[in-house]
Amino acid sequence: MERDPICHMEVSEKTALTIEYDGRTFYFCSEGCLDKFMTERSRKSLKTSYDLIIIGGGPAGLTAAVYAATLKTDAFLLARDLGGQAIDSTKIENYMGYDFITGPELVERFQYQLIHSHYMDHLMSDVEKIEPLEGGFHITTGELKKYFAKTLIITTGMTRRKLKIPGEEEYQRKGIFYGSLQDFSFVQGEDVAVIGGGNSALQVVENLHGIAKNIHIISDLKLTGDPAIIARINTFSNVQKYEEYKIIEFSGQDTLASIIIRKKAEEKTIRLPVKGAFIAIGLQPNSALVSHLLKLNEKGEIMIQPDCSTSHPGLFAAGDVTDAYGKRIIIASGEGAKAAMAARQYILNLRKNKFKEKANEY
């Protein structure tokens, strides 16, 4: 793999666009980034000020970006990765237009729309700080680059929650994993535990079925996943359900060897020998970047209005990081589209007000 020098995206040597420059080969994700490279070489600097900056590259951010591009908004996408949580979904059965598609396939289509069909300036980077200032916001990235935008759309989604119990840190990646994996071969024919009772946990169970010997599902409540997935899981003969159980401890030597659980309100503990434990107990909103600027609810989600505006003028938010009902790809995408339309209207209003102020001066 090579890295695009403009947007820092990883690109394959086989499919990337290339140019020879100063005796070196450079690889690009798209025509747009190649053009920017040539602009930078001739003018020595790249644009750092935009009408709109979108932060986050999951379904909400990518859809907001494509909408902003089709609305001809002067916009920039800043994201740690392209795809977000959707990339972890091994089986999407509820996205319109597809009876079945995997997360990576859907994200590849979203990405194609962004960098080929409707090119938008983009950079793969962490945003570390957002500061409000007169007429907009300053954004600082992990590489300490600074950008300015008149308006922002925050689509930073959610990250996985931890159990915070003994052994969890010690055996991380030594048997304990969060969510699903591409390669389960290390638990081939072994006993495993899946912790959680929602759709994410049940998808992991489906992926492990046919690979692991016995699968213990441990959930502190009754299973809460979609009835269709629960019905499929119920047909698997190698699955044991422990509903309303608590995890007490992970233990082992160099790698995970067992997990201790206890039925709620009972004292007796059970030790289950397992080679792998896959934790999928939900997610927490990545709202810390803007928590000093706007209103969050008790779950830490950004509170939004129906047009995705927040309590801070010029700051819009969309997707899983918000209090919008339903954490789904189609909902995050729809909210991203709405946010892009509302942010554009906000920019048009800023222009109109500036024009009026100027007219009043005469």
Ligand X SMILES: Cc1cc2nc3c(=O)[nH]c(=O)nc-3n(C[C@H](O)[C@H](O)[C@H](O)COP(=O)(O)OP(=O)(O)OC[C@H]3O[C@@H](n4cnc5c(N)ncnc54)[C@H](O)[C@@H]3O)c2cc1C
Q: Interface with ligand X by CB under 6 A: which residues?
A: 55-61, 78-81, 84-86, 88-89, 92, 94, 126-127, 155-158, 179-180, 200, 203, 286, 289, 319-320, 327-330, 332
Classify residue 107 by its DSSP letter: H
Contact 138, 131 (CB under 8 A): yes
Residue 26 or 184: the one with the smaller Cβ distance to ligand X is 184
Concatenate the DSSP letters of all residues of 186-238 into one string: GGTTS-EEEE--SHHHHHHHHHHTTTSS-EEEEESSS--S-HHHHHHHHT-TT
Q: Which residues contact 322 (CB under 8 A, 6 or more apart)?
A: 285, 301, 302, 303, 304, 308, 335
Other C-beta atoms within 10 Å of 180: how many? 22
Element (H, E) at 242: strand 239-243
Minimum distance from CB of 318 to ligand X (Å)?
7
> In the complex with ligand X, which residue's Cβ is closer, 303 or 350?
303
Closer to ligand X by Cβ: residue 80 or 118: 80
**Residue 246: strand pairing partners:** 262
CB of 129 to ligand X, least distance (A): 9
Residue 205 and residue 234 in contact, taking contact as beta carbons nearer than 8 Å? no
Give the C-alpha separation, 8 to 18, whole Å. 14
Question: What's 301's DSSP letter?
Answer: P
CB of 345 to ligand X, least distance (A): 21
Contacts of 198 (CB under 8 A, 6+ apart): 223, 224, 225, 280, 282
Which residue in the shown chain puts its C-beta closest to ligand X?
Answer: 157
Minimum CB separation from ligand X for residue 268, in Å?
32
Instruction: List, as one string, the DSSP characters of 54-96.
Output: EE--SHHHHHHHHHHHHTT--EEEEESSSSGGGGG-S-B-SST
Closest approach of Cβ 356 to ligand X, in Å? Answer: 36
CB of 304 vs ligand X, minimal distance in Å:
12
Q: C-beta of 164: minimal distance to ligand X in Å?
A: 19
* For ligand X, the closer CB: 41 or 109: 109
Spatial distance between the Cα atoms of 276 and 175, rounded to a whole number of angstroms: 4
Q: Indicate the residue among 256 and 290 with the shorter CB distance to ligand X.
A: 290
At 3, phi and psi to the nearest 5? -120, 130
Q: Which residues contact 179 (CB under 8 A, 6 or more apart)?
A: 88, 160, 200, 204, 278, 279, 280
Q: Rounded to the nearest whole angstrom, what is the least distance from the CB of residue 248 to ligand X in the complex? A: 25
Which CB atom, from 61 or from 175, has the smaller least distance to ligand X? 61
Neighbouring CB atoms inside 10 A of 6's CB total: 22
State the alpha helices, DSSP H only, in the chain: 31-43, 59-70, 103-112, 199-208, 227-234, 329-361
| Cβ 255 to ligand X shortest distance, Å | 23
258, 252 Cβ separation under 8 angstroms: yes
Most distant CA atoms of the chain, gap in Å: 83
Q: Which is nearer to ligand X, 26 or 121 (CB)?
A: 121
Q: How far is the CB of 349 from ligand X (least distance, A)?
A: 26
